[in-house]
Amino acid sequence: MSASSFPSLFDFLVRMPWAAAACVAAASLVVCALILHSLLRTGLAWRLATDVPNDRSLHTRPTPRVGGWGIVPVGVVAMLALAPSMWLVALIAAVLAAVSQIDDRRGLPARVRFGAHVLAVALLIVVNPAPAPWWALAAVGFLMVWLVNLYNFMDGSDGLAGGMALFGFGGYAVAALSGPVPQIDLGIASAAIAGAAAGFLLFNFHPARIFLGDSGSIPLGFLAGALGYWGWLEAAWPVWFPALVFSPFIADASVTLLRRLSRGEKFWQAHREHYYQRMVRLGVGHARTALAWYVLMLAGVLLANWALGFSPSAQWLAVGGWAIVIVIAGVVVDASWRRHQALLSEQSGGLRG
């Protein structure tokens, strides 16, 4: 039998996209896990970047921040090799990872970091403009820059950011391959990132041996926005879809930002006011906090994919209904936090008396 009789990789992707996506996800999981295991075993992980706890940390021991060294190379290589139409997305993610690694190691001024994020998003939109008014593209670009940064803000508890990547990009993959005209490149790219995130979670779920770090969280935030934009550009989903898929992260970070801005605080400085941080401090713990968030993440992803089959008006009703669910979850955490603070105040007053 000649070599030409074997189906090409392209044929495999086109004829069996679901099988191809599953294979890519599994391979990404294994390769990412092997990379991170090697970094830990050789001790290189500690030399690349280490998180040293401070009074605002939820952790008590130094931990390597090298999750991006596993996720980003796997995702970038997979996109360049198997989703060539997304080459610019892959290259920008790689550049952001390099800039963020410098920040992990030495620290960079906020204006430099933010400038890189704005330039990355602007380049993607200018090179691949969606058929929409300029003001709509500007609004989408603003939201994408916010997604880049909020993903970094939300990387502070074992298993949380990795879980959001697994569920979020997994949701992208399902939607991209389920449409009337499957978006194969988008589905394969999403499956690769979701698989790599699963490999990272093997080392990041509580008790975490590796953290994501800026070199992982910043590219992941960019990819969440970029792939969401790409799906909108290619008519794989409406503009609300990425926001609903990543709604737990968007809601937590946005509400926390607005609260800090209302008090005149510097929102980019480290703090412990996010909802997930409060849950850990309330005694829920890293593992149970992550599992509770996984339930919320999975529910949002399932609803988003289900709502794609609704009429446009019903889709927006689903988005509104889910927003109410998110608000109720936040209210529950807020109420528990206020009771906790009141109890601590009473105990402190009793000790002083």
Share of residues in the chain with pLDDT > 70 (%): 90
Q: Determine phi and psi for 272, rounding to 5 degrees.
A: -135, 45
Range picked from 26-35, 155-164, 247-256 for highest mean pLDDT: 26-35
42-71 per-position pLDDT tens digit: 988 888 877 776 656 666 677 888 999 999
Mean of pLDDT over the chain: 89
Tell me, what's the pLDDT at 340? Answer: 85
pLDDT at 4 over 60: no
pLDDT at 159 over 70: yes
Domain map (residue ranges) of the chain: 9-352
Q: How confident is the model at residue 344 (pLDDT cuts 50, 70, 90)?
A: confident
Q: Count Cα atoms within 13 angstroms, Cβ side, for 281.
A: 22
Reply yes or no on whether the pLDDT at 289 is more than 60.
yes
Per mean pLDDT, which of 12-21, 203-212, 303-312 is the most reliable?
303-312
Please give the pLDDT value at position 245: 97
**CA gap 236, 49 in Å, rounded:** 38
* Span of 58-67, 72-81, 265-274 with lowest mean pLDDT: 265-274
**3-state secondary structure string across 290-318:** HHHHHHHHHHHHHHHHHHCCCCHHHHHHH
Quote the crossing angle between the two packed helices 134-153 and 110-127, to the nearest 10°: 140
Closest CA to 277 of 333, 350, 200: 333
pLDDT of residue 2: 44
